Amino acid sequence: MHKTNISIWSAEFLGTFWLTLGGCGSAVLAAAFPGLGIGLLGVSLAFGLTVVTGAYAFGPVSGAHFNPAVSFGLVVAGRMRASMLPGYVISQVLGACAAAGVLYLIATGRPGADIGSFAVNGYGIHSPGQYGLVAALLCEVVMTAMFLIVILGATAKPAASGFAGLAIGLCLTLIHLVSIPVTNTSVNPARSIGPALFGPAWASSQLWLFVVAPLAGAAIGALVHRFLLKSSDEADAG
């Protein structure tokens, strides 16, 4: 199938839109609604399910990155040309911002609406569990590194065909189960940027960590896979 840049960028926009709307929407709307109580497990599943469904819907077109850190990691791992990275990242950030805008309009669509933290990421007094800067940084780096290792392993040529989306979605669910109390879980700069535009004022001042740490973690994970785990059946993109 011939894939144009427009189709790839559109798939990444829609996939990141869906991830942000579904994942952050579960936290802003469902988890906060009295009596519904989906809690940490529900929000974690929501993020994982958006990746599973998005991977099978958009993966054949763009590879279903939905995350600038993933795209960057794939470049570092030799799976994608560096020249393709800007288009992916711009599409992902725009998709997350559009989803956050839609979510904001929905969340404020009832009398007395309070968006709270709007599912933004934070550390220190803005961490759900009051975890400090160093803990938040370490958590985001390690979780993103492991996410990339799973992605690269699940999509390698020797891996079982057709199951990558499921493995990656379950991995993201597990990541959220562990790290929501620490940072509200980013591992995705686009997912962090979108809600920060509509969230409380402090979110922008802490946003740097949720851009830098996932990118650093992605590079580490990609390098670990490329030089320690890569099989002889995998070829670099160049």
Residue 159 Cα distances to 108, 118, 230, angstroms: 45, 38, 12
Judge contact between 224 and 50, C-beta under 8 A: no
pLDDT at 207 over 80: yes
Which one-letter DSSP state was computed for residue 127? S
Q: Which amino acid is present at 105?
A: L
Residue 29 has pLDDT above 60, yes or no: yes
Token pair recorded at residue 212: 């830098």
Give per-residue pLDDT as tens, 67-122: 999 999 999 999 999 999 999 999 999 999 999 999 999 999 988 888 889 999 99
Q: Decide if 77 contacts 86 (C-beta within 8 A).
A: no
As a whole number of angstroms, the distance between CA 30 and CA 13 comes to 24
Domain boundaries, the chain: 5-229
Q: Can you give the pTM of this predicted structure?
A: 0.93
Torsion of CA 57, 84, 148, 142, to 10 degrees: -130
CATH of domain 5-229: 1.20.1080.10
Confidence at 237, pLDDT banded by 50, 70, 90 = very low
Q: What's the pLDDT tens digit per position in 1-23?
A: 467 999 999 999 999 999 999 99
Mean pLDDT of 45-74: 97
Q: Is residue 138 predicted with pLDDT exceeding 50?
A: yes
Please report, as a single letter, which amino acid is at residue 153. G
DSSP code per residue over 178-213: HHHHHHS--S-HHHHHHHHHHS-THHHHHTTHHHHH
| Residue 58 to residue 47: CA distance in whole angstroms | 16
